[in-house]
Amino acid sequence: MNVLKKPIILLLITTVMAFALLFFYRAPMDVNILYIGGSVMLISAITYFAIVYFKLGDEYLFLIVSMLVVLGTLMLCRISYTYGIKQIMWYLFSVCAFYISFFIYKYAKPLNKMGTFYFILGVILFIATLLFGTRSGGAKNWIRAGVLSVQPSEFIKLLYIFFLASYFSGTKDKLVFSKFKEKYAVLFCVYLYLGFLVLQREWGIAVLFFIIYIAMEYIFEHDLMLILYNFLFAGLGGTLGYFTMYHIQVRIATWLDPWTDVSKTGYQIAQSLFAISSGGFFGSGLGLGKPEYIPAVHTDFIFSAICEELGMFGGVAIILLFFIFTYRGAKIALKLPLGFDKCIASGITVMFGIQTFIIIGGVIKLIPLTGITLPFISYGGSSLLSSFIALGVLQALSDREVSK
Amino acid sequence: MSGFYSVLASLLKYIFVTVIYLFIFAIIRMIFLDIKKANGDKRKPQHDTTYLELITNKNNLYFDVEQSYPLASDVVIIGRGEDCTISINDLYMSNQNTQLWFEDKEWYIADMGSTNGTYINGEKMTDEPLILDSGDRIRIGQVEFVIVIVGE
Amino acid sequence: MTDKRIINILIVICLLFMSLIGYLTYLELFQAEELSKSPYNQRQWAYEEDIERGMILDKEGVILAQSKNGERMYPFNNMYSHIIGYNSRIYGKSLLESKYNQLLLGQYGLGSLNITGNKKSGYNLYLTIDHNLQKVAYNSIGNRNGSAVAINPKTGEILAMVSKPDFNPNALSEQWENLVDNENSPLLPRATSGLYAPGSTFKILTSSAALDAGLQDTVFEDKGSIEIGGKTVSNSGGKAYGNITFGRAFQLSSNVAFCSLGVSVGFDKLKSTAENFGFNKEPDYDFPAAKSMFPSSSKGDAETAALAMGQGNTLATPLQMALVACAVANDGIIMEPRLVSHATNNSGVTILATKPKQQSVAMSKDNADYITDMMVKTVSQGTGTSAMINGITVAGKTGTAENEQTVMQKNKEHTWFVAFAPAEDPEIAVAVMLEYSGGSGASVCGPIVKNIIREYLR
């Protein structure tokens, strides 16, 4: 089988089929959709060949992500044409951002000395969100600037990983204010971030931040007692939150049993489960299901829509793609020498892996639902942009490992 | 929705999923081949200089240590300190534990007055420097190397 | 060490992903069906709105249920309520509407490719029911509570099946509360799911067991009552028949004779015979049905004697007793009962067709012939004369079963009549049961059996 040696061809076949199907799905038929599909194909192909030809590091990362983006935009165009077109626009921007972040990371040197800067920038973004933010779906996490809506937490995510990496790659015995060990100062910063996220009711990202911290602490400092204390503290905080905050109670209750209040709090998850189960193994076929019944189907619940129309096999394919992606990320991290780069690579890999698990686990009711986007697939410029910036960094790191 | 589209979409869904899985399979296959190639390289480490080969089992150590260290310069200092030529974060090592140097076509070794000393082939070194032969075992802190002298 | 820990984290993420795939598979395999039936799943309804649900017709093509503009309509109102069930957005689906939902929505085999114009349409379901016969059976039972089942014994096709009381599936929402609260349980399909003591109709099974044991030449001394295991059993009406043969005892439905027969045959033989006829077996038909029950043990001769005449803890559905008649009519072989004959798509092409299938061998052909003979005589010169028809040899057996109400109050027995005709080459087997009707199987049920057979063989 010759195509198996060239997965890019399979990617292009998928893209062609996806947009051809969309072309027939739309009534009246719109030739623009073919142009759009063509341009998506072109961008993927050019970037892929650039990576291979100029030897810009790992060639699989971008390939996997392109497949995810194709499946995501396909689903979005099917759910809502406007969302789909917007998302493709954002994809163009994001690929530019990918190149920019790739070159910045590759050539800018003192990135590891700016831990404090990352932290403070993050705090500023948080405060800005709290001051100017607008509420959307329970979470206050958007800043509107003219026509643009930005979700700062998507970018804080990256700053947070850079901040942690600066710390874990530095000398760790240094004292801050001649009193505290730096370890505890960082811990304080982490919990400050978590505090902000709780204030904005971004539970999903809060959990993600916590796990990223634990994972990096485990890998690079290996202070098991500290990790244990963190879990105890988080457990305590969680329990306290459960008894004091109505939202958490509702989330847990709907996770355990969405059916008692299916018309209100359990509605989303019930609709998601209906969608997934109606798809069966091969799905209803694109455009033949009813994913529009799920609220927020284009963002948090896009995985359910994929399961409905592309079937369980489609859903499993998404999970497998994310798994190979995570594996490649870990591989890059493993090959790098101990230091800032290794921390960044590990942090980004853990971020993509865990974020995927949190949202997919949430929509299939394996774990309580916490709103967070599915990287590269969910609708949203901020999410796509930040994911591609992270991808650019990972790409630069894989290049470093190759050129070493 | 037109009947034509329904038929098209119902048929295409199988092909679509198949192609996606072929894609996943292709990538896994290529990654697998990559690893196989990389492992093949690893089996025959190429050394054109003298090097230290670790003989202690790495997995029992709580700190990082490489499988082999090429002795690239004429003076090599092994110790816990970060400025050592070979820096190993072993608590049983002193900051500057042991020195190796190349002189008159021979590799010499000397302990740098470390707390736990340096052992050659199991015997603790005195203050006197020694000339190393290829295959000598060198134990520093909790790690033991064997020296492989390449060339004249 | 750092590298090893990165690998550990990778392993954890791998396990998390595998749990996602595992749970997803679990959802699809074990939860999907329940979820798709959830009344909160408007997806199913919306999906169904896109499809013109298929019709349900009798074997000649008389429309029994059809959809127009998304509305399900049942032209014969109550008549088929316990066969077809209902299809309601509020109350869900039942019976055939539920069992054949996918087919009626045009899903069978590879997928839904039944497309006409711009709207998909489901497949049409043809039943084995004969509408004219159903009408006669339905009207014959009238307002009484009970059931009638008519089956072609050679093929297992159900020709008519009535359960009363019933309901009007066209007007569910108006009646619903009344239907649920009503102590007569009008939502219970008695023919297939109602369980009743079979009374003397069970003597057919006891006879088969006795024939196996070689007891056909026994002569009984019938003094009108007999004491077995400390209990006294008497004949219906307390009549004493004197010295009677096995055949005569069957025609006259002598309890005295059959009690002693039951004890001679023994509990184990009775039980295995009952199980050969389908008792204690979960039915697996193309429509929902309850399991008829024969006890797993007997406390002594008194209970065995009671079981031999269809009392005690024996419980049978009217369908089961119709199958007993089928067994006698069809040389001892029970064909699996079927309600669905075939399904076609819009262009009339057959999508699915059911075939006659043997369910079990209930008894030997010799036994069947012997019992046929006794049943013919029962109608011509025994307890079943009320079912006699000019020019047709009818074979039958009556039954009157005591139940929880007869303990306090007389004249509340369930009455039974099972029959088939023509005896020489049976084309129809019938079981009629009227609950708490009082009287005798002959007087109450006989005329209904007669109407059904006469109509079918007309």
pLDDT, tens only, A170-205:
755 555 555 567 778 888 889 999 999 888 888 889
Q: Does B110 touch chain C (CB under 8 A)?
A: no
Residue of C5, C8, C17 best to disrupt the A interface, most CBs of A under 10 A: C17
Burial of C282 (0-12, 13-18, 19+ CB in 10 A): exposed
Instruction: Using a pLDDT cut of 90, give the percent of chain C over it.
Output: 55
**CA torsion angle A163 A168 A169 A171 (round to 10):** 110
How high is the pLDDT of residue B106? 86
Q: Which residue of C has its CA nearest to A362?
A: C20
Burial C58-96 (b: 16+ CB within 10 A, else e): beeebebbbbeeeebebebebbbbbbbbbbebebebbbb
Across A57-81, average pLDDT:
90
Compute the average pLDDT of residues C59-87.
91
Catalytic hit among C147, C200, C260, C298: C200
**Can you tell me the mean pLDDT for B85-110?**
88
Q: Is B60 on the interface with C (CB under 8 A)?
A: no
Contacts of C119 in chain A (CB under 8 A): none
Q: Give residue A3's pLDDT.
A: 66
The span from the CA of C293 to the CA of C284, in Å, is: 15
Q: What is the pLDDT of residue A283?
A: 86
pLDDT above 90 for C374 = yes
User: Which of A 360-379 lie inside 8 A of C, CB atoms?
Assistant: 360-361, 364, 366
3-state class (DSSP) for residue A379: coil
Chain A, window 264-293: residues with a beta carbon less than 8 angstroms from a chain C beta carbon: 270-271, 273-281, 290, 293
Q: What's the CA gap between C265 and A240, in Å, rounded?
A: 73
Is A339 within 8 Å of chain B by CB? Answer: no
- Inter-chain contact A357–C2, Cβ cutoff 8 Å? no
Contact of C1 with chain A, judged by CB distance below 8 Å, is answered with: yes
Range C395-408 average pLDDT: 86
Concerning whether C200 is annotated as a catalytic residue, the answer is yes
DSSP bridge partners of C242: C222
* Nearest Cα residue to A362 out of A303, A277, A308: A303
Using CA coordinates, name the residue in chain C closest to B65.
C1
Residue C277 above 60 pLDDT? yes
Residue-level pLDDT at C110: 43
pLDDT at C210: 93
Q: Are strands B86-87 and B75-79 parallel, antiparallel or unpaired?
A: parallel
Q: Give the model confidence (pLDDT) of A107-138 as tens digits.
A: 887 777 778 888 889 999 888 888 887 766 55
Average pLDDT score over residue span A81-103: 90
At C111 the pLDDT is: 44
Handedness of CA C200, C202, C205, C206 (dihedral sign): negative
Question: Per DSSP, which regions of C268-324 are E strands?
Answer: none
Residue A393 near chain C (CB below 8 Å): no
Question: What is the spatial distance between Cα B65 and Cα C355, in angstroms, rounded to a whole number?
Answer: 76
Distance of alpha carbon A45 from alpha carbon A26, whole angstroms = 26
Judged against a pLDDT cut of 50, whether residue B120 lies above it is answered with yes
Residue of A64, A277, A350, A360 to mutate, testing the C interface (most C Cβ within 10 Å of its Cβ): A277
Residues 6+ apart with CB under 8 A from B11: none
Query: What proportions of chain C, in percent to the nearest 5, are helix, strand and coil?
Result: 40, 20, 35
Averaged pLDDT score across all residues of chain C: 89
Q: Is C214 on the interface with B (CB under 8 A)?
A: no
Residue C39 scores a pLDDT above 50? yes
Q: Which amino acid is at C204?
A: I
Contacts of B1 in chain C (CB under 8 A): 50, 118
Closest CA to A340 of A186, A164, A217: A164
pLDDT at residue number A388: 95
Contact assessment for residue A94 and residue A378, using Cβ atoms and an 8 Å cutoff: no
Q: Is the pLDDT of residue C215 over 80?
A: yes
State the DSSP string of A336-365: SPTTHHHHHHHHHHHHHHHHHHHHHHHHTT
pLDDT for A64: 92
Q: Is B7 on the interface with C (CB under 8 A)?
A: yes
Residue percentage of chain A with pLDDT more than 70: 92
Higher pLDDT, A285 or A324: A324
Res C446: pLDDT: 92
- B11: nearest CA in chain C? C111
The answer to whether the CB of A397 falls within 8 A of the CB of A111 is no
Chain C residues touching residue A274 (CB < 8 angstroms): 35-36, 38, 40-41, 43
Largest CA distance in chain B: 93
Determine the pLDDT at residue A147: 66
Residue A56's CB is within 10 A of a number of other CB atoms, namely 20
- Cβ within 8 Å, pair B10-A288: yes
What DSSP letter does each residue of C79-96 carry, written as one string?
GGHHHH--EETTTEE-HH
Residue of C nearest to B60 (CA): C1
Residue C116: predicted pLDDT: 46
Pick the residue from chain C with its C-alpha nearest to B13. C111
Closest CA to A169 of A110, A112, A124: A112
Distance CA B48, CA C180 (A): 91
pLDDT of residue A402: 47
- Cα C190 from chain centroid? 8
ipTM of this predicted structure: 0.93
Q: What's the pLDDT score for residue A403?
A: 44
Note if the pTM is more than 0.80: no
pLDDT in tens, C319-364: 999 999 999 999 999 999 999 999 998 888 888 899 999 999 999 9
Q: For chain C, say whether A215 makes contact (Cβ under 8 Å).
A: yes
d(CA A215, CA A226): 12
Mutate to test the interface with A, among C3, C8, C9, C44 (most CBs of A within 10 A): C9
Q: What is the pLDDT of residue B102?
A: 87
Residue A311 and residue B13: Cβ atoms within 8 Å? yes
